[in-house]
């Protein structure tokens, strides 16, 4: 085989490996709670699309850990008392964009809808930037560690 072809194949394989890696995906969904513009947009979008279930104050529904009679779990809080910060940015983005049914066990019931076609990727990141901006610095730092894994 000619050296130029071999080099071309090696370079193509390396580029394919980089594009398929998880760090690339995380980079594409980076969510910065210090981005003032994103946080402002996110606050408005949260009020319009999320507050009805998760609360204007991000406190979620009452008794959010106890299933409703229909088997669904109530909407959890998005403040530091909930478990939102236990997930990486990539996971939060995916759950918001696609809803919970795609990620939960088959018997898990949730009213969390998919936002595909309702919010753009940028708008979803803005909502999440707003949510993250409300967390204490210690919680933000702990959640950020999940993004480094």
**pLDDT tens digits, one per residue of 23-60:** 334 446 679 999 999 999 999 999 999 999 999 999 99
pTM (global) more than 0.85:
no
Helix (H) or strand (E) holding 142: helix 137-147
Is it the case that residue 20 has pLDDT exceeding 50? no
Asked if residue 121 lies in contact with residue 55, where contact means CB atoms within 8 angstroms, the answer is no
pLDDT of the residue at 45 = 98
| Tokens 């909502």 belong to residue | 127
Is it the case that residue 13 has pLDDT exceeding 70? no
Q: Cβ of 113: how many Cβ atoms within 10 Å?
A: 14
Is it the case that residue 96 has pLDDT exceeding 80? yes
Own/partner long-range contacts of 104-113 (Cβ < 8 Å, ≥24 apart)? 108/73, 109/67, 109/70, 109/71, 109/72, 109/73, 110/72, 110/73, 111/53, 111/72, 111/75, 112/53, 112/75
Residues 119 and 41: their CA atoms lie apart, in Å, by 12
Q: Where are the alpha helices (DSSP H) in 29-136?
A: 36-49, 51-54, 89-98, 121-133
pLDDT of the residue at 3 = 58
């Amino acid at each position: 085989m000619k050296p130029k072809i071999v080099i071309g194949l090696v370079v193509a394989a390396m580029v394919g490996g980089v594009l398929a890696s998880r760090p690339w995906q995380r980079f594409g969904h980076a969510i910065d709670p210090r981005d003032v513009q994103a946080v402002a947009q996110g606050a408005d979008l949260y009020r319009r699309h999320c507050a009805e279930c998760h609360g204007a104050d991000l406190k979620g529904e009452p008794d959010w850990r106890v299933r409703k009679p229909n088997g669904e779990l109530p909407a959890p809080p998005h403040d530091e008392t909930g478990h939102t910060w236990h997930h990486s940015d990539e996971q939060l983005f995916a759950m918001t964009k696609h809803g919970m049914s795609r990620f939960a066990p088959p018997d898990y019931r949730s009213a969390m809808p998919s936002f595909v076609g309702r919010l753009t990727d940028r708008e979803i990141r803005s909502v999440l930037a707003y949510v993250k901006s409300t967390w204490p610095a210690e919680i933000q730092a702990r959640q950020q560690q999940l993004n480094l894994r």
